[in-house]
Amino acid sequence: MKEQQREHLYKILVIGELGTGKTSIIKRYVHQFFSHHYRATIGVDFALKVVEWDENTLIRLQLWDIAGQERFGNMTRVYYKEAVGAFIVFDVTRSQTFEAVRKWKADLDTKVQLPEGTAIPCVLLANKCDMSKEGVVNNPTEMNEFCKENNFAGWFLTSAKENLNIEEAARFLITQILHNQKALNLDESGQGSVPLSGSTPMAQSVPRRTCC
């Protein structure tokens, strides 16, 4: 007899500076669509992606597209509430958007945590990699070290325009979320726990499909 399919609803934040391609990434992932003409997100927008993870697991991702404008910073605690994972996006053609990543990560970590008080899994997306890249993103070793220092689960070079590594990054984040949920469920059942750090490798810094 086939096991009844389990369904999970996960709230995912997509944050970063204005103009880094957050909306484009979401549109590509959810609708397989790209446009050069998006208006800047005002406040917050939503999208739903249904993922058939395996024959027994259906995952619904509620993607929250958070505006990059600093003036909306006071509302982010409301927007972040109950999130279980996040993407922070920067634009590889604008080094100042990478410099802002630490600010976004620190803000995220202070405003939302997992039930046991640890940071939610967060993946760094180096977006627009189909264009000329600036700064540290050209050095995978430095990027790996940056992610380790700032507690990112991993990082990916992405291009919403060329559909590069969007799906791969999402699957990596879902894996992190499922791992955390399994650990939480084991803790609650009194059967022990699964380590939340060190058991899942960092995302490969070199994408599966070359982007240059």
Q: Look at residue 203 and tell me if it is in a domain.
A: no
Query: What's residue 201's pLDDT?
Result: 37
Spatial contact of 107 and 73, defined as CB atoms under 8 Å apart:
yes
Our CA angle for 30, 28, 87, nearest 5°, is: 80
**Can you spell out the DSSP letters for 47-64?**
EEEEEEEETTEEEEEEEE
Q: Look at residue 43 and tell me if it is in a domain.
A: yes
Q: Look at residue 194 and tell me if it is in a domain.
A: no
HSE of 142, CA atoms in CB hemisphere, 13 A: 6
Q: Look at residue 207 and tell me if it is in a domain.
A: no
Query: What's residue 72's pLDDT?
Result: 52
Query: What's residue 113's pLDDT?
Result: 94
Q: Look at residue 33 and tell me if it is in a domain.
A: yes
Q: For the chain, how many structural domains are there in total? A: 1
**Residue 67: alpha-carbon gap to chain centroid:** 15
Q: Which DSSP state fits 190? A: T
Query: What's residue 202's pLDDT?
Result: 42
The most distant pair of C-alpha atoms in the chain lies apart, rounded to whole Å, by 55
* CATH number reported for the structural domain that contains residue 67 in this entry: 3.40.50.300
Q: Look at residue 149 and tell me if it is in a domain.
A: yes
Query: What's residue 130's pLDDT?
Result: 93
Q: Look at residue 200 and tell me if it is in a domain.
A: no
Burial bucket for residue 208 (CB in 10 Å: 0-12, 13-18, 19+): exposed
Query: What's residue 33's pLDDT?
Result: 77
Question: Residue 170 and residue 62: Cα distance in Å, rounded?
Answer: 12
Question: Mean pLDDT of successive 10-residue segments in the chain (212 residues)?
Answer: 79 94 94 72 81 93 82 71 96 96 94 93 97 89 97 97 96 96 63 35 41 38
Q: In terms of residue numbers, what domain contains 38?
A: 6-189
pTM: 0.83
